[in-house]
Structure 1
């Protein structure tokens, strides 16, 4: 299953259709409309949060749905347990995205155990990592894709304002599974640079699907 899906994603855009807690956009119908708009614009896949939204998106679009489940906002909270992962598979996710950092998981499980459970249930796994060593370890533990999603967001990793293209390039040169660039990709030019650095495909979220955050940026620019 990995190869056909990887082929369909190669050189193309994945749109992250999410909204934070309390945001006016955080309604299932609204998020599903985002996925439909992304598909209409040419996205190869969408990335969405929580089983309810995954199930609704799977019913609404023909592109693959990458599902995750954010539970909390500290530590390992992106699909933190096997239970969360299997709920996403049951909802129809073709790929389950999960934190694959070196931090302990809340249920004491390992990332390898999550991968094994997701594969047994018939889906693929995207490992969200923050460092080169984590990406290499995730690939060794069976991840089908490795994403640079958490670079700069985990304590101890350098804070950055631009995409971590160096991490993309280093992982693409070192691991046998496809690398997906994600994190702070704000322009089409940066997306193209990520592909040039060796990414299979590129995830863009805020720059496309976050009107509240984008409005704040413009307001700050006018008042600074």
Structure 2
């Protein structure tokens, strides 16, 4: 039984060129998150999912980011990617459910149906708009996440957190909704739940060492004096 209700899900990921992009390091992050109360973790790539599965018992939301020519869809874009994610030990499969052109001939409803029927896994639909959320729910998605708000052509002029989108989904759709993207403080996480989110994902603010250090360095350098040792 998967229970994420009103819980914190920690996304444990790292850039490919980061020394943190090692399965054992990602697994250690995930274990630390779970030890301190995370109800689930969100993990990218089969190798990382497998390493995390060996360390934690909580649900893993698994995905596989793949860049495919001719399509902007990159989160578990095709069924065979979902197969690899499931075989690695993920409990829930996250997929891009925006209205952008998908690679190959697979339709959204087809990949969701196959994940359900052939893999026996629930699907988290990562969306950017209410329209995409509606289509995902109609296609059979079990969970809708605001993950891609601000990261598509249609929403690039907006910055997450997706408060308005979250509110719209809660009001208009009968689905389990996760607020993900741009949550940078405990106060924002609580606000997401107060607005009706069933759970909240936090990534960079907890595990994004590379991006956080870069942000601090940028701030420090803007205040540099002429003194050198």
TM-score, with length taken from structure 1: 0.94
The residue number in structure 2 matching 1:101 is: 98
**Is 1:35 matched with 2:30?**
yes
Deviations 1:129-149 (A, max 9, x none): 000100011011000000000
**Is 1:71 matched with 2:66?**
yes
Structure showing greater radius of gyration is 2
Deviation of 1:175 (Å): 1.2
2:47 pairs, out of 22, 32, 52, with 52
1:184 pairs, out of 182, 195, 198, with 182
Say which SS state the counterpart of residue 216 (structure 2) adopts: helix
The residue number in structure 1 matching 2:9 is: 14
1:205 pairs, out of 187, 199, 203, with 203
TM-score, with length taken from structure 2: 0.92
2:151 pairs, out of 117, 142, 153, with 153
Point out where structure 2 has 5 or more consecutive residues left out of the alignment: 223-229
1:133 to 1:70, Cα distance in 2 relative to 1, 3 A: same
2:56 pairs, out of 58, 61, 78, with 61
Give the whole-Å Cα distance in 2 for the aligned partners of 1:115 and 1:57.
24
Deviation of 1:158 (Å): 4.2
Q: Is the 8 A contact 2:205 2:212 kept in 1?
A: yes
Deviation of 1:159 (Å): 3.1
Deviations 1:80-132 (A, max 9, x none): 00110111111121100000000111122111111111111111100000001
Say which SS state the counterpart of residue 15 (structure 1) adopts: strand
Deviations 1:23-66 (A, max 9, x none): 11100110010110110110000000011111221121010000
> 4+ residue stretches of structure 1 with deviation over 6 A?
none
Alignment of 1:159-178 (within 5 A): 159-178=157-176
Give the whole-Å Cα distance in 1 for the aligned partners of 2:79 and 2:4.
26
User: Size of the alignment, in residue pairs?
Assistant: 219
Give the whole-Å Cα distance in 2 for the aligned partners of 1:20 and 1:159.
24
Say which SS state the counterpart of residue 26 (structure 1) adopts: coil
Mean CA deviation greater in 112-121 or 158-167: 158-167
Say which SS state the counterpart of residue 156 (structure 1) adopts: helix
Q: Is the 8 A contact 1:17 1:31 kept in 2?
A: yes
**Is 1:117 matched with 2:114?**
yes
Q: Is the 8 A contact 2:149 2:160 kept in 1?
A: no
Give the whole-Å Cα distance in 1 for the aligned partners of 2:50 and 2:122.
16
